[in-house]
Chains A and B, each alone.
Chain A
């Protein structure tokens, strides 16, 4: 069974930093791209960042580019989202999600498994 266990959510002051973690089990983590999606309270889903299975490629939404950094440690089956210069607009539940396929020749990126979410609150 695929499991994505998230940690790191917290209350942070505006301008502060935070690192989220997502520990995976139940599948060959090394083979799958991973993604972060966020959801502000009462709002929709917003794609934030993705990282390829081998860390060679990273992608960011314009709203977080230059402030957030995605990484992964395949030896620990864990992906991370390092967030800095946080503002009130970054307050949300952050989900990690697993790409639907490990086949890099197949285009596209949608998500068949999701973590439980980590709440990030930005407040002074």
Chain B
């Protein structure tokens, strides 16, 4: 099975910062990569799919990139509501594996 590895596991940043998270697949998955945001006590929320397509209603400060095995999620200017955990997910074939998450902290 393809493994999904996210780095870093946690990241400290400040309001207004630009941050980038990484997600690496153990084998190529083309662009079948989604990103989710989960705040404490809340359900996951879809942010990006097809590696770089913003889901409806997601602010444009979120940007996804990459293909094959290496992907990234960038938030251009952190807002208070962005502090959360971010998960990537491969969705090409079964199993539809998630990364272990990156926790973004103040």
Contact = CB atoms under 8 A, between A and B. Distances in A.
Tell me if chain B binds chain A: yes
Interface of A: 35, 37, 44-47, 50, 59, 61-62, 95, 100, 107-112, 114-117
B40 to A, nearest CB: 10
B87 A45 contact: yes
Contact of A46 (B34, B92, B98): B98
Contacts of B71: none
Contacts of A35: 96
A44 B32 contact: no
Residue from the set A50, A107, A109 with the largest chain B CB neighbour count within 10 Å: A109
B91 A110 contact: yes
Interface of B: 32, 34, 36, 38, 43-46, 49, 55, 87, 89, 91-92, 94-101
A20 to B, nearest CB: 15
Contact of A115 (B43, B46, B95): B43
Contacts of B36: 45
Contacts of B44: 37, 45, 95, 111, 114
Given A45-B98, A47-B97, A109 B43 contact: no
Nearest to A61: B95
B46 A110 contact: yes
A109 B96 contact: yes
A44 B99 contact: yes
Given A44-B87, A45-B87, A115-B43, A110 B96 contact: yes
